[in-house]
Amino acid sequence: MENKGFNYNVLILENDTKFEEAIKLLDDNGTGVLPVVDINNQFVGLITDGDIRKSILNKNLDLEHIINKNPYKMNISSTKHQRIQYLKKIQRRQLPIVNENNEFIEIFTFDSLEYNLRDNPVVIMAGGLGSRLGELTKDTPKPMLKIGKKPILELIVENFIAYGFSKFYFSVNYLSHIIKDYFGDGSKFGIEISYIEEEKKLGTAGALSLIEDKIDVPFIVSNGDVLTTIEFDKLLDFHIENNSNATMCVREMIYQVPYGVIKENYNKITEIVEKPTNKFLINAGIYVLSPTVLTKIAYNEYFDMPKLFEKLDNVFCYKIDDYWIDIGQKKDYEKVNLDSQFNYKE
């Protein structure tokens, strides 16, 4: 039975459901996959073209034996980025999405993704020394340290590619030849990479003055040691919708004072607060800038991003609660290599 409420034809499994019905719906989908639900929309499993071929060869047309009742799936609460990464991990193109009650919601697929390919460039600051990481960066620039089997910089680039970004600038300095040899012009990754050569330290904004191309659309700037699951398309949309000159990603940081805090008035104790918690918004090292902002940056002079924001009006902060880590110290590097969140466990 066809269910028009979904983005795919769905087979509703009943006692009298015929094998031929499954073949027809599978053929109508044209994608090689057919979701199967029961009459209460409980997700039962999947039927693929391969399952049908095997059943015919085995001369067993019983749907109960054909349905894969234990396919990969994800919860509706997962982000688009997590789904994309999980599909890459399991080497599949389709992923059933269910809710907390195992009710079928949709099929998420690479083939139906509307990437909304972006003309907006991405600038990644990849020239730092990484001195706080000690021996780890003696012969390797920090962005090229590996998380699992891939360099940090490659993971950052993959995250942007997943949201339709394809034009990149890498600002490089320390051991820049290692980065250039690995990424080249970006063609092997299906992207375009240009390099900004910092002959001296220019800070997180100063290097932007060396971009020779004319940029006439908002662009993203990211530190080369930040790993995150931010949905970059939503970040860019936020910047545009607010007509912002500059948008800074910020993250709430909670710090608990490990002692009782005393409040006083002329030495008289007025209150004792035991181990109070303070909340701050910290700079997450990811920004969106409008092209006119480039005129505020002096050529080839040291200039940090916070100073740039101080010079501008109509600037916004974009609050994130996604996974985020700044790999500034050895303990951060060790943490991200062990962190199940970044590896997108099912």
- Is the same domain home to 144 and 86? no
Cα distance from N-terminal residue to C-terminal residue, the chain: 30
- Is the same domain home to 143 and 278? yes
Question: Could you give the number of structural domains in the chain?
Answer: 2
CB within 8 A of 89, min separation 6: which ones? 344
Give domain status of residue 189, yes or no.
Answer: yes
- Is the same domain home to 38 and 148? no
Q: How many residues does the chain have?
A: 346
Using the predicted structure, report yes or no on whether residue 190 has a pLDDT greater than 90: no
Residue 19: give the domain boundaries.
11-109
Query: pLDDT for 81-140, tens place per residue?
Result: 677 778 877 777 788 999 999 999 988 876 555 556 789 999 999 987 767 777 777 888
Query: Which residue is it, tokens 């890459």?
Result: 88
What percent of the chain has pLDDT above 70? 93
- Is the same domain home to 159 and 180? yes
Tell me what pLDDT residue 79 has: 77
Using the predicted structure, report yes or no on whether residue 296 has a pLDDT greater than 90: yes
Tell me what pLDDT residue 336 has: 78
Alpha-carbon distance of 269 to 261, in angstroms, equals 11
Using the predicted structure, report yes or no on whether residue 160 has a pLDDT greater than 60: yes
Tell me what pLDDT residue 50 has: 87
Is 176 in contact with 127 (CB distance < 8 Å)?
yes
**219-232 mean pLDDT:** 93
Spell out where 259-313 has E strands: 260-265, 268-274, 277-289
Give residue 237's pLDDT band: very low, low, confident or very high (50, 70, 90): very high
DSSP code per residue over 258-271: SSEEEEEETTEEEE
Query: pLDDT for 5-56, tens place per residue?
Result: 556 788 999 888 888 898 888 888 877 889 999 999 999 999 988 888 888 8
Tell me what pLDDT residue 328 has: 76
Find the radius of gyration of the CA atoms of the chain: 25
Alpha-carbon distance of 74 to 81, in angstroms, equals 12
Give domain status of residue 245, yes or no.
Answer: yes
Tell me what pLDDT residue 111 has: 57
- Is the same domain home to 82 and 221? no
Instruction: Residue 42: give its domain's CATH number.
Output: 3.10.580.10
Asked which of 47, 76, 109 is the last residue of a domain, the reply is: 109
Give residue 346's pLDDT band: very low, low, confident or very high (50, 70, 90): very low
Query: pLDDT for 244-269, tens place per residue?
Result: 999 999 999 998 989 999 999 999 99
**226-234 mean pLDDT:** 90
Phi, psi of 332, rounded to the nearest 5 degrees: -70, -40
Three-state DSSP class for residue 106 = strand
Tell me what pLDDT residue 101 has: 93
Tell me what pLDDT residue 116 has: 61
What is the distance of C-alpha 64 from the center of its chain? 38
Give residue 235's pLDDT band: very low, low, confident or very high (50, 70, 90): very high
- Is the same domain home to 31 and 144? no
| Residue 262 exposed, middle or buried by CB count within 10 Å (0-12, 13-18, 19+) | exposed
Give domain status of residue 76, yes or no.
Answer: yes
